[in-house]
Structure 1
Amino acid sequence: MRLQLKLVLLFLSVSIVPFGIIGYYTYTLSAESMENHAFVHLTSVAHTRADYLDSWIIYIQDNAEVVAGAPSVVQNLEAMEAANSSSIEYRQAKKAIEAFEDLAMEGYATFDEIFVLDSGGTIVASTNKNIIGENRSSREYYREGRHAAHLTSAYISPTLDIPTMLVSAPVRSGNITIGVVVCRTNFNMLHATIHDRKGLGKTGRAFLIDSNGYLVSGLPDDAKTIPIIRNISENYCGIYTSNGKEVLISRVWMPDQKWYLIVEQDRDEVLHSLNMLIERAIAVIIGVIVLIGIFSIFTTRQITKPIERLHVGAEAVAAGDYSMQVPVITEDEIGALTRRFNEMTSELDETHRKLRNRIALVNRDLENQKSKLESILQSIPDCVFVTGTDFRIIMANQACKNFKGVPEEEIIGKLCYDVFSSDACKPRCRLLETTGDDNGGCICWEMHITDRDGRSVPIMTCGAPLRGADGNVIGHVEVMRDITRMKNVTEELRRANAELELANEELKKLDELKTNFINIASHEL
């Protein structure tokens, strides 16, 4: 990866990471604060509506008590209790009560139905003619309504098939309960209160359920589930998932009616303003990051350009161009490094020039020495050759070539005992591998070698190991001398010695004859 790209990525990381961390914590804390505020608001709305419903329930209970305490109801019910059910007085009293019920229905729009039960629990008058005569003495609203105003739990009416609720109140004559007035409550006002979205935004909704989880009022069409009831008889705030969306919920417990008033709102709507702000902030951050990217590219280019020039200069120096000079375009640390690089290349160029001159001188001296050595080697009349450790000839003088009568290329690279054929050559050469430092490691032997004319020539050969600077054997040097003349001189000397010995024998014999003659002559004389 190029340095400029690394620096750009570093700049971007340094800018993005802080923005990301700050944005994350800002969003988290803001969302938590807005959720808490929403919980407070939803709880306030729930309490307000719960208080309003409590007032409404007290209102309908008061209305039921007013109906139960009306003189038309009390007096006519007393008359019906005293009269025979088939008498004219009974029928007149009944009609009077029913007329008052109709009047009460018109006066109290909160009731859908009003009926009166006598002391035995039988319906004696009702706005619904179909239920007159039924005995409801076992019903809760009758038993509780004999003592005080009573409100039943909401339930689904089997006849109307809608949620409904009954409020009952005792009809008293003095201190004696002579019957019970029962009013079927109209839920229009309750529904209007529950469905009112005021203060709940577009997705806010409220609904009313009893302690058993049955819906009393308010579940909108788009809500398919009712939140699970937890912490019975307690207020509750929290978040749950409905139809794949997170929903903020506030629940208020209404102990008198044993109802739960639930107010909820989609979390997305609660955080809508924050999300909009975050989107704008992200757009701004992206713009800032783009600007930072452009600035970082420009800045890193100013940093990397001198470094790239230094890199090119270093490559040139590595290739052998010591005259390379990199232009100094900055006055910072990189500029100082560039100046030092130029000084270094100048010093290297001067050193290299001096070294080149010195090497040229040394090479010239070596060539002179080599020429001298070759002249000396070539002037030696004896055959001198050098082999490697494998006994292959690597150099031979002119005497060797003349002796064998072959050109140089037929000698160089061949085994010495193949060039100078002799039965004694190979085993004697191999002795050089095991020769110690005695006599300098030199051994000599005599053998016969065939010369260029096919003659068997007596040769005296001396060989010694050739050692390098480290003392290790790197080859061998051998010298061959033709001893034919020496052999002839030796033979002549041998023959002369033999003739001299014969002459000495003859002289000894003559000397003995002379001695004997003298002795004989002396004796005779």
Structure 2
Amino acid sequence: MPRFSLLYKVIIAYLVILLPILAVISMIFENNKEEMERLLITELRQIADEREAYILMYMHMNKQRMQDFASDGFIVSTLERMDRKAVGRVLGEYMKKYKLPILKEMYLLNIITAPDGKVLASTIPGLEGEDLSKEEFFRSGLKGLSVVEVVSRFGPQIAVSAPIYSRAEKGKVLGVMTGFTALSKFGEFFTGEYIVRLGALSWSHWGRWSTFEIYLVNRDKLMITPSRYVSDAALKQKVDTYPVRECLEHRDEETGFYPDYRGEMVVGASMCFPSLGWTLVVEVDREEVFAPVIRSQWYTFGAIILVTGLIGALVFYFIRVIVRHLRALAIGAGEIAAGNYEVRVPVRTRDEIGQLASSFNAMAASILERQQELVNSQKSLAESELRYRTLIENLQEGIWVIDENAVTTYVNPRMAEMLGYAVSEMMGKSLFEFLDEEGVRITQERLERRKRGIKEVMDAEYVKKDGGRLYATIAVAPFIEGGVYKGAIAGIVDITERRKAQEALRESEEKFRAILDNMGNVVFMKDLEGRHIFVNRLFEMVTRRSKADIYGKTVLELFPEQIAMEFDKNDRKVLEYDRPMEFEESFPLGDGVHSYISIKFPLKDTKGKAYAVCGVSTDITTLKNAEEALRKSEHSLREAQRIAHIGNWEWDMEKDFVYRSDEVFGIFGRTRVEFDSFESYLESVHPDDREAVIMKLRKAIDSEQAYSVDARITRGDAVERIVHIQGEVIRDESGKAVRMAGTVQDITERKQAEDEVTKLNRELEHRVEERTLELKRANEDLAVAKTEMETFTYSVAHDLRSPLRLIDGFTILLLKKQRDRLDHEGQDHLERIRASARRMGQLIDDLMNLSFVMRAEVSLGAVDLSAIALSIASDLEKADPERKSDFVIEKGLAARGDERLLRMVVENLLGNAWKFTSKRDGPRIEFRRCGEEAGKDVFCVRDNGVGFNMAHSDRLFHPFQRLHSQDEFPGTGIGLATVKQIVQRHGGSVWAEGKTGEGAVFYFTLQKGNG
């Protein structure tokens, strides 16, 4: 490190104090400058905004005026009615007298006819007839209000145009009215003349700057208003500056510093008029704006130089006094540094310097005393360090010491040897240089724990010099001094070989497990207590348990007791006989009981002592089932052939050997010895049929036709039978017939039966004809009886109703006329007569309904059951408004049927539910779809009424059968019988469920509504 004198340091300190002061002053100056720039730009922008507003307001006012002039009634009517030549003079004088004075800045008004584009009338004589059809202001004026910049013999102008529309023909353009304003007039907005003319007393047009300038630039980058610096600049002075380009190219309004059209640096602001292609520019020379700032800057620099000089002189004076005393101390310190601890510094003052000299002398004496102590301590330390180093360097474990930055400060030879380095190569290197990426991340986390004073024993992995890996177990402890982490020391043991062995063992175990998991056999291991210590994946699948749920459990905890006991017994046999054994074991699975062949054997340790039982089980269920199925199939085939009198055969043509099933021998009544060739078969055929059989056989062999023939045979016992023989020829690759297979069936009884059936069919046809005639006569008699029955029913109903009405009428008359003469008992008798008459009338009506239902034609159609139910529920509630019931009717219930008849079904069922819930608190009646049966919708009506006993449910749907007395619930017992008849006539069924005191449910089925 370089040595500097005290004077040098004081000067540096002086500068350190002075420079921030200068920096602050500079920052204040720069801040003021930036603030001034901001205020200036804001002010210029405000001025530009104001002038932009004046121009836009002026243009808007002129456009409105021009639109008013174009719609002037006199001008429009004159254009439509008068002669064109006379119109020009009249309109010119009219505009000059009444219109032009209103627009003080406009010097010319023209009326241009459409579509020829010729001037019809003008406020300047001599312009009439001029062709302006190609001018932009005319073409734009035909379309609507427009403002166009033009250059004519009158100079640069702004033309404001408006179309003149016909009042007689809507939408027709008669012409265009155009007013012209000289562009030089726009300069008055910037000088203030226009505002003064409007009435302002004064106007500061140039602001507070001598170089302040406002001007307009057109789309051709030409100045169109007067310039402060260039005479006659309108449409001559090119202005290709930054704000003009930004406005014309990007329509961006800019503020800032840039060179103006003179090349001078200015600060300015711009406004864009996109419709006209104009740019309004407000500028002030940068030199004028910043002149006060520059003057202030020079004043500031002068003041800084003066203050710096005064402070420097004062500091220099004090330095000379202090340095003289400090030099004496420096000489004394030099002597001490040279080893002369007996030197003493003279004390000349009592101030801080004198006190420093006294302390210096005391320090020298103390150093002299401690020097001797240090010599003694160093001698002892050297001896101790020698012993420690000898121990560390001869250890068979690695020792590694790092500092707080993880830099190696010491390693013993063993540590360097383990990594393949020399000790000198490792010293000073970072611990992280001996780790891979993942090791660096893990070690950084561990070092954080060291910094908290935590000791640890753990495994680690290092990168050797040759790129190999060192796997080690390390015991590490931190160095903590005064609560501050200073590094760590670690003892390291090489476990690379052990790690490789573990890795090889792990890989071997993984391969072994993969093999076992992918075997088609169940594999398991159990300890001597019967607890599972290993199972493969198939074991999990079979038992439908995870390994976590299997390990540590015995068979008694996993399987049914009987099966578990069998498994356990077999395991113990293996341990008892100490050898592999094979067992057939059964185990129930989801698809039935499975059979397994289990090979079990003991597992032994290195001493030959058994520590577990291992088993490999193979599912032989499919094999056993196949064997059983084959056995059953063969038995079934034999039985089927025996029962059906069908046998199968196969003829080997080359060897002339015929295989025949047992049934064939039974059919032909011959033994295997006498019936083993094809010739023996032909000999059994009846002589009259033999030729036909041979011909059919030859045709099948030659033409590949099926062999099928009925023939008579003579059994071995001389009994004649009829058989049906059929077969198929089997050919080799060349097409040669080599074998033939087929069946033979004894059809003797069938042939006899067919003859008998033919005979019976003839007799049956004759009997059917006779019975058809009888049935026809019976139907005619039934139709007559039905008609007579209907007539009788209506007659009985009419004849019964008449006396009932008379009985009811006379009873009412007696109650009205003779009530005073009758006692209470007599009145009660009359009321009973009336009630009986009404009940009889109701019974007759119900019988008539039942009769109607039984004979009415069923007209099928879509029926909205929900709507019917809602209507009936509403009628029931209206009939008894004081009763509160909860009707729950499902929406969208529909069926296919006769709407009149189905209404009677719903009316009867809902009426019953209403009646039988009348004595309930909180009655509830539901009508909904309750499922599907045999392709039909099931509907149900549920109530929480009095219910019924299911033992009597068979009586519910019979006429006149009632489960409750008339006093309890009135009724005739016909309603449910009617429901049953209607539902049955629709092809459905009806039934009921109930429980006394808990309500009832009535179900009925109907065709689906969309069917």
TM-score (norm 1): 0.51
Contact preservation (8 Å) 2:161, 2:177 = yes
Q: CA deviation at 1:110?
A: 1.5
**Which residue of structure 2 lines up, in the alignment, with residue 121 of structure 1?**
117
Q: 2:257 aligns with which of 239, 244, 249?
A: 239
Contact preservation (8 Å) 1:171, 1:180 = yes
Separation of aligned partners in 2, 1:146 and 1:340: 107
- Report the AA paired with residue 331 of structure 1: D
Q: CA deviation at 1:217?
A: 2.8
The answer to whether the aligner puts 1:179 opposite 2:187 as a matched pair is: no
- Per-residue CA deviation, residues 83-141 of structure 1 (Å, 9 max, x unaligned), is 5x4xxxx2xx3332222333233332110222222232111332333433211111111
**Which residue of structure 2 lines up, in the alignment, with residue 227 of structure 1?**
241
**Which residue of structure 2 lines up, in the alignment, with residue 48 of structure 1?**
50
Q: 2:95 aligns with which of 95, 101, 107?
A: 101
Change (3 A) 1:272 1:198: farther
The answer to whether the aligner puts 1:145 opposite 2:141 as a matched pair is: yes
- Report the AA paired with residue 333 of structure 1: I
- Report the AA paired with residue 252 of structure 2: E
- Report the AA paired with residue 233 of structure 1: R
Separation of aligned partners in 1, 2:62 and 2:250: 27
Runs of 5+ consecutive residues of structure 1 not aligned to the other structure? 313-324, 345-525
Secondary structure at the residue paired with 1:129? coil
**Which residue of structure 2 lines up, in the alignment, with residue 292 of structure 1?**
311
Separation of aligned partners in 1, 2:291 and 2:303: 18
Change (3 A) 1:180 1:26: same
**Which residue of structure 2 lines up, in the alignment, with residue 164 of structure 1?**
157
**Which residue of structure 2 lines up, in the alignment, with residue 57 of structure 1?**
59
Q: 1:332 aligns with which of 352, 376, 399?
A: 352
**Which residue of structure 2 lines up, in the alignment, with residue 438 of structure 1?**
none
Q: CA deviation at 1:67?
A: 3.0
Runs of 5+ consecutive residues of structure 2 not aligned to the other structure? 193-203, 231-236, 332-344, 365-1011
**Which residue of structure 1 lines up, in the alignment, with residue 189 of structure 2?**
193
Change (3 A) 1:6 1:99: same
Secondary structure at the residue paired with 1:121? coil
**Which residue of structure 2 lines up, in the alignment, with residue 260 of structure 1?**
279
- Report the AA paired with residue 164 of structure 1: Q
Secondary structure at the residue paired with 1:234? coil
Separation of aligned partners in 2, 1:56 and 1:160: 21
Q: CA deviation at 1:72?
A: 4.7
Q: CA deviation at 1:61?
A: 1.1
- Report the AA paired with residue 182 of structure 1: T
**Which residue of structure 2 lines up, in the alignment, with residue 317 of structure 1?**
none
Change (3 A) 1:138 1:245: closer
Secondary structure at the residue paired with 1:131? coil
Contact preservation (8 Å) 2:190, 2:205 = no
Separation of aligned partners in 1, 2:20 and 2:316: 20
Contact preservation (8 Å) 2:326, 2:353 = no
Q: 2:267 aligns with which of 248, 259, 268?
A: 248
**Which residue of structure 1 lines up, in the alignment, with residue 423 of structure 2?**
none
**Which residue of structure 2 lines up, in the alignment, with residue 510 of structure 1?**
none
Change (3 A) 1:286 1:192: farther
- Per-residue CA deviation, residues 22-77 of structure 1 (Å, 9 max, x unaligned), is 23333334433443343333333323322222111011112222333334533444
Change (3 A) 1:300 1:158: farther
- Report the AA paired with residue 215 of structure 2: F
Matches within 5 A, 1:474-485: none
Separation of aligned partners in 2, 1:150 and 1:211: 17
Q: What is the root-mean-square deviation of aligned Cα atoms in Å?
A: 4.3
The answer to whether the aligner puts 1:111 opposite 2:113 as a matched pair is: no
Q: 2:27 aligns with which of 25, 28, 42?
A: 25
Separation of aligned partners in 2, 1:330 and 1:263: 74
Q: CA deviation at 1:278?
A: 4.1
- Report the AA paired with residue 131 of structure 2: N
- Report the AA paired with residue 178 of structure 2: V
Secondary structure at the residue paired with 1:208? strand
Separation of aligned partners in 2, 1:276 and 1:188: 39
Separation of aligned partners in 2, 1:114 and 1:63: 12
Secondary structure at the residue paired with 1:221? coil
Separation of aligned partners in 2, 1:16 and 1:244: 41
Contact preservation (8 Å) 1:118, 1:180 = yes
Separation of aligned partners in 2, 1:296 and 1:188: 70
TM-score (norm 2): 0.28
Contact preservation (8 Å) 2:253, 2:270 = yes
Matches within 5 A, 1:337-416: none
**Which residue of structure 2 lines up, in the alignment, with residue 507 of structure 1?**
none
**Which residue of structure 1 lines up, in the alignment, with residue 224 of structure 2?**
216
Percent identity over the alignment?
Answer: 19
Separation of aligned partners in 2, 1:260 and 1:101: 33
Separation of aligned partners in 1, 2:189 and 2:358: 83
**Which residue of structure 2 lines up, in the alignment, with residue 451 of structure 1?**
none
Contact preservation (8 Å) 1:328, 1:339 = no
Secondary structure at the residue paired with 2:309? helix
Separation of aligned partners in 2, 1:328 and 1:218: 86
Secondary structure at the residue paired with 1:265? strand
Q: CA deviation at 1:178?
A: 2.0
Separation of aligned partners in 1, 2:350 and 2:270: 71
Separation of aligned partners in 1, 2:263 and 2:162: 47
Secondary structure at the residue paired with 1:102? helix
Contact preservation (8 Å) 1:34, 1:270 = no
**Which residue of structure 1 lines up, in the alignment, with residue 368 of structure 2?**
none
Separation of aligned partners in 1, 2:134 and 2:123: 21
Separation of aligned partners in 2, 1:9 and 1:193: 63
Q: CA deviation at 1:295?
A: 1.8
Q: CA deviation at 1:244?
A: 6.2
The higher radius of gyration belongs to 1
- Report the AA paired with residue 111 of structure 1: M
Contact preservation (8 Å) 2:191, 2:206 = no
Change (3 A) 1:68 1:224: closer
Contact preservation (8 Å) 2:251, 2:274 = yes
Contact preservation (8 Å) 1:122, 1:135 = yes
Q: CA deviation at 1:221?
A: 1.4
Q: CA deviation at 1:280?
A: 4.3
